[in-house]
Chains A and B, each alone.
Chain A
């Protein structure tokens, strides 16, 4: 990779490249086409009158199959209802990496757009040649080309049987005019592919799979990560044996299995009362915020472009001139959990020395290689098949449970094993979004120009996805090998990775001092949760920006627009302002805004919030406005669903959520001990989607979270007259901060 690409990071490079190519009036097919460049890699015509499309991305609640079907339908001219997206199967689907990082539409959408255009062009050319007619003499309707004079016709399904189809390659770029000529509507109303089955109870999740003689399973979890299995008491293992209930014991990895799911659930509780674990190490020794400040850490300098470097960290500058105002601030956030409503699950069978694993993991191809490494088996003998799970917002328990199901299936060959995590498993054993601390210093001059900006982020890693070289990232692997030492993470340096995602401000603040601190020996297991470090970094940035603006009485919109050069960013903020102005503010309410461009290279989003803070410090959300620019709009309602869902989740993080733990165990074991937002605090949300026709797709799965937290925090600051700097904004935390100030 050239040095300059290394400097800005590959994702930024990709984004810049696609935008540059756009400016040269070309459409870029995207990275997937480089690997899978044939039409047959993307389409299957075996079903009559159905266009089946392969994708390497999966439906994890974002309706990607509907968006991809719509993209293909618009270009191929085949009715949306007749386009099917084939569920990811590692034997037949393209490997497009993980379904993560808001890249599903940018990657798979661009690839399917390019493939569909190639298909359409080749089909028309083939039809004209075969029918021996002129272009003017044909009509094209729902995948069939008809010669209006002779009434002869050819369909895509006929074309798919030819060598032309089989051999055809997809170009890496197209003339933009070729795409524009279809003149499709982006606000088309469609029924999402899954909705009919969902509302009738027929949508099959992996949890619902049934096979003859199938064994239901649960893992027997210890009190914490550092617990070694010693023994059963009261002969419980023998009693289970007499009842025909199976136990599996591999060092400290234990599971219970039976054909009757309820017996598994019932005896899991009984076993937990009849088992001895040795606590090898305490879960924690101190509060997480003390640990974030005091533990060993690795500090890297983050430079413009968002990449981190092992370089000396410059000291904070001092500005003594009276024309400058200097502020410092600290923002804190606790651990957040993914907390899907349905606990993680997987189904696996080991038969004829081959594994078949049904999973809702974001990373099925990585899982295949990891299982290959663990079982020492050729990857060709492992098939991963996507089956829906409950909502996915990052690296949750899906990979763990799939690995565990595979381990169980090896011990019970020729029988399907359906393993489900319990609610307590999900709450206590998933990899959380890390707790974090941001220390900021900013200097603003009397003209309202910010001339110096320092942001130091302290956090644990967001990157512990399992891989064939990192099996220890499967939580159960460590219990299988009785290894209770915490693996030390290494800082990731690429642009906007993990802790330093969106640490580099899009604003022009004169001089920046940006530091990423990977703090070691923090208590809880962490990995990628929606936005990684961007949630806390954007909130810290956007709230501190308001604090600085307030010292000079500058309006929140003005301070942002004055420090931006990017026209699309300015446009999004102005769009938000226009929408907020229209709505009359309710008496006794307060407003706040937040803005971000995700990873400084993906979608732009500005959020406004109107809320009330009652005398008892209860916070009620009243209105929310979202303005988003995600490039060309493939499916407007899909974008709205993503950003509105993301808003609600981030509002929940901001107002309610923090994983609690003590020295022995995680205390947040269920929904009573880990509160999330409910229907009684959902504001009226108005979303404005800015369509940048012809520009590259930019994903929207994550962009809204940071601006949402910031808008809520800034509105609360307006209400209270001071910024609350610790999340979540519960009565207890607000009271504590008010008393401290």
Chain B
């Protein structure tokens, strides 16, 4: 098993990690960098709990290799905060207590951030499209929809 030096830009900081070249991005984020807000749900790219932003686009991190994202800007849930505090999606989720167990929530917030950080008033189709593959088992969907309504109204 050969190891490589992998240069990543995560949450605005350059990080160099010495990793096995077949290591998926999620294990680098969680285990090498300690950013455990990104959750391991299925390891198959099906549930969305491991979603991160790659150059502003949502991407599941459990089934892609870290070495392939060396020239990208990677943002995890911990990196969404701005100098002014929580980003607007996080604020709306907080205001509406839009989580139950919360395990899927960071993936959903990342997902919605990929849309709402680009557009103030995305269409319903755009929102549902970004939420495709974001699974929640507790049924927090109703409170998430309230948070989305708040985001669209503000």
Contact = CB atoms under 8 A, between A and B. Distances in A.
A192 interface: yes
Interface string B120-154: 00000000100111111111111111000000000
Contact of B139 (A203, A338, A392, A649): A649
Given A391-B100, A637-B97, A341 B136 contact: yes
- Give the interface SS of chain A, mostly helix, strand, loop or mixed: loop
Contacts of B36: 201, 204-205, 207-208
B22 interface: yes
Interface residues of B, number: 57
Contact of B40 (A203, A207, A388): A207
Nearest to B42: A423
A200 B90 CA distance: 7
Interface in B32-66: 34-44, 46-47, 49
A201 B77 contact: yes
A195 to B, nearest CB: 5
A422 interface: yes
Contact of A192 (B27, B41, B97): B97
A721 B77 CA distance: 48
A342 B40 contact: yes
Interface in A210-227: 210
B86 interface: yes
Interface in A117-162: none
A196 to B, nearest CB: 6
Contacts of A202: 37, 78
A261 B42 CA distance: 15
- Give the interface SS of chain B, mostly helix, strand, loop or mixed: loop
Contacts of B49: 341-342
Interface stretch (A20-28, A405-413, A679-687): A679-687
B81 interface: yes
Contact of B44 (A338, A644, A648, A671): A671
Given A262-B31, A645-B138, A682-B141, A671 B101 contact: no
- Indicate the size class of the contact surface on chain A: 35 or more
Contacts of B93: 195, 198-199
Given A262-B24, A339-B137, A645 B102 contact: no
Interface stretch (A57-65, A167-175, A309-317, A432-440): A57-65
A262 B27 contact: yes
B101 A641 contact: no
A662 interface: no
A191 interface: yes
A554 interface: no
A201 B140 CA distance: 17
B104 interface: yes
Given A198-B105, A199-B105, A676-B137, A423 B77 contact: no
B103 interface: yes
A195 B94 CA distance: 6
Contacts of A265: 27, 43
B99 interface: yes
B119 to A, nearest CB: 18
Interface in B59-87: 76-78, 80-81, 86
B139 A648 contact: yes
A194 B102 contact: yes
Contacts of A61: 100-102, 138
B143 A644 contact: yes
Contacts of B145: 679, 682
Contacts of A390: 101, 103, 137
A91 interface: no
30 contacts: A61-B100, A61-B138, A192-B97, A194-B99, A199-B86, A200-B77, A200-B80, A200-B90, A202-B37, A203-B102, A204-B36, A243-B1, A262-B24, A262-B27, A262-B31, A340-B103, A342-B103, A393-B137, A423-B41, A423-B42, A641-B97, A641-B100, A645-B138, A645-B139, A645-B140, A648-B139, A649-B139, A670-B42, A678-B133, A678-B134
The 5 closest A-B pairs by CB, nearest first: A201-B37, A645-B139, A648-B139, A61-B101, A201-B77
